[in-house]
Structure 1
Amino acid sequence: MQTNQQTSSVHCSEPSSLRHCISLLQTCTKSLSIFKQIHAHALRTCIPISHPLLARHLIFSLVSLSPSPLRYVHAIFSQLTHPTVFICNTMIRVYAESAHPAPALDVHRKMLHAGVSPDMHTYPFLLKACAKLMSLRDGEVVQGKVVRLGMERLVFVQNALVHFYCSCGILESAYKVFEGITERTLVTWNSIINGFSANGRANEVLALYREMIIAGRVDPNGFTMVGLLTACAELGALPLGKRVHVYLIKSGLNRNSYVGNALIDLYGKCGLFDEAHKVFDEMGRYRNVVSWNSLIVGLAVNGYGKQALDLFAQMEREGLVPTDITMIGVLYACSHCGLVDDGFMYFEQMKSRYNITPQIEHFGCMVDLLGRSGKVNEAYNYILKMPIEPSAVVWRTLLGTCTMHKKLEMGLTAWARLVEVDPGHSGDYVLLSNLYAAVGQWSQVHKLRKEMLSGGVRKNPGRTCSMKCLRD
C-alpha cells in the first residue's frame, strides 16, 4: 500500500517537474554542465527522456551551445520513437551546419520511417547538407521528394537547390533552377553569383551581376561583392574591381573579413601590392588567417619573396597559427629568394611545429626550390623519393626548371613522365619548345610546333575581359 502511494505521488508530481525543468532550460545560464544537471533532475523525477516536450526543449537548448555537443544531442534524439517535425528539422539543421553533415540524411530517413511529414523548413537544410557533402545523388533524390510534395516553388527550397548544384559544379542545373525562380531574393542572387564565381565562370558572374542591377528589386550586399571581386581578380579586370572597391567604401560594406580578403586577392593578382597591403592594414580587427595567407601567397608568387617571409614572421609574432596555404606561400617565397636551407627548415617545421601534413602542393614547392637554385638532379631525386605519387604539376615544375638551366636530358625525362600522366597539355609543349630553343635545337622547336598543329594541340588563351564588361 505504501509503495502504491509513493508511485502515485511521483506520477502526480511529473507535470510540475516537467514545467520546472523546461523553465530551468529556458532561464538558466547556457552551459553543457548545467543542461546535464537539469537532464539528470528530469530523469530522477521520472520524466522519461522520450517525453516529446522535454526532448524538444533539451535538444533546442543543447544545439544553441557553441560548439554543439552533437553526440549528446544525438543520444537524446535516438530515444525518440515519435519525434516531432520541429525536432527533426532542428537535428537536420544542426548537422547541416556542422563539419560532419552526413547524419542529416539519416535523420530525414528516420522521420519518414516514423511517419513524420516534412515541412517547408526540412528540405533547405537537407539540401545544404548534400551541398557540403557534394553528394549529387542524394541531392537529386531530395529534389525528387520536393517535387512530389509540391514544394519545388518555395523560394527557400529553390535557393537551396541553386546552392546545391553550384557546390557540386553542375552549373547548368543551377542556372535552370535559377531561371525558374520568379521572386528572386538577395539570397537567390548571391547563391548563383558566388556559385558561378567559385567555379571559375567569371564572365558569367559579371553578366549575372549586371542582370541583378537591371532587375533593380534587391540591392547587393557584401557577399554579392565578394563574388564580383573574385571574378574581377580571375579576369584581371582591375578598373571594374576598383569601382567595386569605391562602392564598398561608400556603402560601408567594406568592414568585414570576406570583402577585405577578396580585395587583397584582387590587388595581389593584379600586381598592386601597395594597394593590397593598404587594404590589409585597414582591415584591423577584421583580419584573419585568410587575410595573411592572401597577402603572403600573393607576394610570394609574384617574386616578392623577402616581403612574404617578413610578413610570415610578423604573423608568427602576433600568435596566429599558419595553415597549409600559408606554408605554400612561405615555401614559394624561399624558392624565389634562393633560400634552399630555409625552405627545408620550414618544410620540416610544418610537421614538427605546426602539425601540418605536407600535400602534393608543398612537395611541388620543394621541387621548384631545388630546381630554381640549379640543383636539378637533386630535384629529380627528390621527386623519386616523395611519399606520394608525383602529379603532372610536379613534373611540369621540373621541366620548367630544366628550361631555366638548359638541362635537356633531364627535361626530356620530365617530358616523358608528363606524356604518361597528362598527355596533350598545351603548356607542356610550350615548355619543351622553350627548352629546345634554350639549347639551340631549333629544328626540334619547329618539329614540335608541327606536332602541336597536326595533333590539334592549341595554346590555351589567356584571361580576357571584354571592354563591354568593364564599361557595364
Structure 2
Amino acid sequence: MANSESLLQKCTSLARIKQLQAHLLTSGKFQFYPSLTAKLLERCALSPVANLPYATALFHRLQNPSTNQWNAVFRRLAQSPQPTQGIAWYKTMSQASQKVDALTCSFVLKACARALAFTEAMQIHSQIVKFGFGADVLLRTTLLDVYAKVGNLEFALKVFDELGQRDTACWNALISGLAQGNRPTEAIALFQRMSEEEDLKPNEVTVLGALSTCSQLGALKRGEKVHAYIMDEKLDMHVIVCNAHYGTVVDLLGRAGRIQEAYEIINYMPMIPDVVLWQTLLGASKTYRNVEMAELASQKLIEMGSEGCGDFVLLLRISREMGRCRQGGGGHEEKRCEEDTGFWLHRSGRCDTQVRSPAYAFRCRRMRLKGLKPL
C-alpha cells in the first residue's frame, strides 16, 4: 500500500492516474483500501491534473463511498464553472442517506454563493442547525458570505450579529455585501467600527470594500485615509489591490475636482496605467472643464490604441464648451479646435487628429471606431 501511495504522488498526468487505477483494480486494492482509493479520487478531482468527468466516473465505481469521497468530488463541483452541479450533488448525497459533515455544508454553501441560489442557501441554513453545526464559526462565516452575495443583507446582518467571535473574513463579507448592495453608508460605518473597536487588522479584501463604498459616497476624506493605510501597510503591492486601489482613488479625486492630484496618482502607479484610468481622468476633466488635462488623457488613449471614439468626442465637447472650437475651412461642414488641441470634427461624423506626425482620422458610426488611417 505504501508503494501505491508513493506512485500516486508521482502521477503528473491523467494517463498516469489511469494506469495506477488499472493497477489497483487488477490487484484488488481498489475496494479493499478505502483510504488509498480516497486519495486517488482526490488526485483526480483536486490536483493540477484533475479531470472532473473522470473523477465522477471513478466515484461511481465505489460500492460504499465515504463522506470524504463524496466531499472530494463535491469540492471540485463547487469550484467548477457550473456550481449548480454542486447543489445537485448535495441533493443526491442527501437522498442516498449519506452522512453530512461541516465540510459538506461548507462546499454546498460556496456553490450557492457562486450560483446566487438564495432559496437553496436558506434550506442549507436550516439543515446546518438541524445537524448541530450552528456553532461552527467557519460555516457561519460562509453562510454570511452567501447571504451578502445573493443580496439578502437583512439575513447577512442577522448572522453577523449572532456571531460571538468574528474574524476578519466575517467583517469583509458584510462590508463587501453592503457596498455591492447599494448601502455604502452602512458599509463605511462598519469599516470604521472594525478599525476602531475591534482588535483586527484590515486586509486587502477589507480595504477594497472600503474604497468601493468611499467611491459610491464620494467620501474623499475617508478615501484618503484608506489610501494612506494601504500605502503604509504596503497593501498596494498586492496585485488585486493595486489594480482596483489606484482606479478608485483616481475616481474619488476626479469627482472632487482634484484633477492634477488624480493625474499625479496615475504617474505614481507602480504599473502601467490602463485605458480605464485615462478614461476616468478624461471624464473628470470634462466635468470640471479642464481642457489641458483632457487633451493629455486623450493623447494617452490614442497612444494606447483605444478604440472608443466616444473618448475623443468627449474631448471635443469640452473644447467647444470652453470656446476653443471655431469654424474651419469647410464652413458649417466642420469645426476645428485650436492648434494646441489637434482635433477636427466633421459633421459627417469623421474626426481628424494629429499625434506628433503623421495625422490620423477615424469615423464614428454607431459609437464604434471603424478605422484609424493616415490622412
Counterpart of 1:198 (choices 180, 184, 191) is: 180
**Alpha carbons 1:230, 1:262 under 8 Å: kept:** no
* Cα RMSD after superposing both structures: 3.1
**Which segment is superposed worse, 104-113 or 43-52?**
43-52
Q: Does 1:274 align with 2:256?
A: no
Task: Provide the secondary structure at the position in 2 that maps to 1:118.
Answer: coil
Task: Provide the secondary structure at the position in 1 that maps to 2:112.
Answer: helix
Matched letter for residue 311 of structure 2? A
Q: How far apart are residue 131 of structure 1 and its match?
A: 0.8
Question: 1:20 — aligned with what?
Answer: 3
Matched letter for residue 83 of structure 2? P
Q: 1:86 to 1:283 in 2, by over 3 A?
A: farther
Counterpart of 1:58 (choices 40, 44, 52) is: 40
Q: How far apart are residue 294 of structure 1 and its match?
A: 3.9
Question: 2:320 — aligned with what?
Answer: none
Q: How far apart are residue 224 of structure 1 and its match?
A: 0.6
Q: 1:129 to 1:276 in 2, by over 3 A?
A: farther
**Alpha carbons 2:78, 2:110 under 8 Å: kept:** yes
**Alpha carbons 2:13, 2:49 under 8 Å: kept:** no
Q: How far apart are residue 337 of structure 1 and its match?
A: 5.0
Question: 1:229 — aligned with what?
Answer: 211
Question: 1:82 — aligned with what?
Answer: 64
5 Å-filtered alignment, 1:34-53, equals 34-48=16-30, 52-53=34-35
Q: How far apart are residue 47 of structure 1 and its match?
A: 4.2
Task: Provide the secondary structure at the position in 2 that maps to 1:88.
Answer: helix
Return the alpha-carbon distance in structure 1 between the equivalents of residues 186 and 295 of structure 2: 34
Q: Does 1:68 align with 2:50?
A: yes
Matched letter for residue 92 of structure 1? F
**Alpha carbons 2:77, 2:83 under 8 Å: kept:** yes
Report % sequence identity.
27
Q: Does 1:251 align with 2:233?
A: yes
In structure 1, the gaps of 5 or more residues are 1-17, 285-290, 317-325, 343-364, 371-472
Q: 1:23 to 1:155 in 2, by over 3 A?
A: same
**Alpha carbons 2:298, 2:312 under 8 Å: kept:** no
Q: How far apart are residue 227 of structure 1 and its match?
A: 0.5
**Alpha carbons 1:299, 1:305 under 8 Å: kept:** no
5 Å-filtered alignment, 1:62-211, equals 62-66=44-48, 68-211=50-193
How does the TM-score come out when normalised to structure 1? Answer: 0.59
Question: 1:336 — aligned with what?
Answer: 314
Return the alpha-carbon distance in structure 1 between the equivalents of residues 6 and 144 of structure 2: 41
Matched letter for residue 224 of structure 1? T
Q: 1:201 to 1:275 in 2, by over 3 A?
A: farther
Structure number having the greater helix percentage: 1
How does the TM-score come out when normalised to structure 2? Answer: 0.73
Q: How far apart are residue 256 of structure 1 and its match?
A: 1.1
Matched letter for residue 169 of structure 2? V
5 Å-filtered alignment, 1:248-397, equals 248-270=230-252, 271=254, 272=259, 273-278=262-267, 281-283=269-271, 292=274, 294-299=276-281, 301-302=283-284, 303=286, 304=294, 307=297, 310-311=300-301, 314=304, 330=308, 332-336=310-314
**Alpha carbons 1:296, 1:312 under 8 Å: kept:** no
**Alpha carbons 1:194, 1:227 under 8 Å: kept:** yes
Return the alpha-carbon distance in structure 2 between the equivalents of residues 157 and 312 of structure 1: 50
Q: How far apart are residue 46 of structure 1 and its match?
A: 4.4
Task: Provide the secondary structure at the position in 2 that maps to 1:116.
Answer: coil
**Alpha carbons 1:81, 1:114 under 8 Å: kept:** no
Matched letter for residue 314 of structure 2? H
Return the alpha-carbon distance in structure 2 between the equivalents of residues 209 and 25 of structure 1: 47
Q: Deviations over 1:190-212 (max 9, x none)?
A: 11111111222211111101221
| Count of matched residue pairs | 312
Counterpart of 1:240 (choices 222, 230, 239) is: 222
Return the alpha-carbon distance in structure 2 between the equivalents of residues 100 and 43 of structure 1: 31
Q: 1:111 to 1:269 in 2, by over 3 A?
A: same
Task: Provide the secondary structure at the position in 2 that maps to 1:254.
Answer: helix
Return the alpha-carbon distance in structure 1 between the equivalents of residues 224 and 280 of structure 2: 18
Return the alpha-carbon distance in structure 2 between the equivalents of residues 68 and 37 of structure 1: 15
**Alpha carbons 2:45, 2:55 under 8 Å: kept:** yes
Q: Deviations over 1:364-403 (max 9, x none)?
A: x975679xxxxxxxxxxxxxxxxxxxxxxxxxxxxxxxxx
Q: How far apart are residue 276 of structure 1 and its match?
A: 4.2
Q: 1:118 to 1:217 in 2, by over 3 A?
A: farther
Q: 1:141 to 1:335 in 2, by over 3 A?
A: farther
**Alpha carbons 1:185, 1:218 under 8 Å: kept:** yes
Structure number having the greater strand percentage: 2
**Alpha carbons 1:190, 1:223 under 8 Å: kept:** yes
Q: 1:268 to 1:151 in 2, by over 3 A?
A: same
Return the alpha-carbon distance in structure 2 between the equivalents of residues 41 and 368 of structure 1: 62
Question: 2:338 — aligned with what?
Answer: none
Return the alpha-carbon distance in structure 2 between the equivalents of residues 190 and 369 of structure 1: 39
Question: 2:358 — aligned with what?
Answer: none
Q: How far apart are residue 124 of structure 1 and its match?
A: 1.9
Task: Provide the secondary structure at the position in 2 that maps to 1:145.
Answer: helix
Q: Deviations over 1:81-114 (max 9, x none)?
A: 4221112222222222222211212222232233
Q: How far apart are residue 50 of structure 1 and its match?
A: 9.1
